[in-house]
Amino acid sequence: MSDPTTLTLTRPRDGVAQITLNRPEKLNALNATMFDELTATARTVGADRTVRAVVLTGAGRAFCPGFDLADAPALAELTSSEMLDFQERAAGVVEAIHAVPQPVVAAINGACVGGGLSLALASDVRIAAEDAKLCAIFVRGGFSAGDLGCTWFLPRIVGLGVAAELITTARTVLADEALRIGLISHVHPAEDLVDAALDTASTIAANAPLGVRMSLRALYANVDAPSLRTALELENRGQAMLSPGPDVREALAAARDGRTPRFAD
């Protein structure tokens, strides 16, 4: 892949990759190029064993306000078949982010709206700046909020009733309310947001990488588990797989020696 034009990929700390949406003149609005570049970048990062955690944020004053309205009129000219192709291309971004095996920490600054909200929802951890504004805006534009995974992620994060209210009113949620309803886990001053996200990512990166990945797999699989018995079966198999591995041996040795564990990639 050639160097992306709509985002940057950096390695600001050991074991941590940072993806920054980089169309600040458009508040990092999504367009077709960003769909493709973000999908490819997420897959690249996910395949890199030296990356243990990922930070996703936006350059400038916003995280992402959704689809670039300059391109919106062209959508009305598409046939249903063409629109389906475009929609699947866009939805691939959400799938790619959620499929990244390392934890993704979304650092939400400013506007996080529509498809931008879906990017944040697809991440594993969400923190926000004090000026963050989150909105499932879809119905205001005549579209369904069933877009880019919003109606799958949102009720799992905030609950069915709250999700129903947010997608039908399309109202803006400020950072303090987002924290209260569990949409985000921490609020920080805007100038401290990225450092706070990197601190979280570094904390994750210090843990056993395979254990972290297996924990996320168990979490997401068991959200939809039909029974406790099914969930326990998955957990038991994961522990049986990990227990004879090098990370467990290193953790035990570190505890015995009174030092910090040094887990291999």
pLDDT digit string, tens, across residues 8-26: 999 999 999 999 999 999 9
The answer, yes or no, to whether residue 72 has pLDDT greater than 70, is no
pTM of the model: 0.94
The answer, yes or no, to whether residue 212 has pLDDT greater than 70, is yes
C-alpha distances (whole Å) from 161 to each of 125, 134, 158 are 21, 17, 8
Percent of the chain residues topping a pLDDT of 90:
90
Q: What is the biggest distance separating any 2 CA atoms in the chain, rounded to whole angstroms? A: 67
N-term to C-term CA, the chain: 24
Average pLDDT over residues 159-179: 98
- Band (pLDDT 50/70/90 cuts) for residue 76 is confident
The answer, yes or no, to whether residue 1 has pLDDT greater than 60, is no
pLDDT at 77: 82
The answer, yes or no, to whether residue 48 has pLDDT greater than 90, is yes
The 10s digit of each residue's pLDDT in 143-160 is 899 999 999 999 999 999
pLDDT at 145: 95
Average pLDDT over residues 108-132: 98
- 209 phi and psi angles, rounded to 5 deg: -60, -40
- Higher model confidence: residue 75 or residue 211? 211
Average pLDDT over residues 64-81: 83
The 10s digit of each residue's pLDDT in 78-111 is 888 988 888 899 999 999 999 999 999 999 999 9
Please, what is the average pLDDT of the chain?
Answer: 95
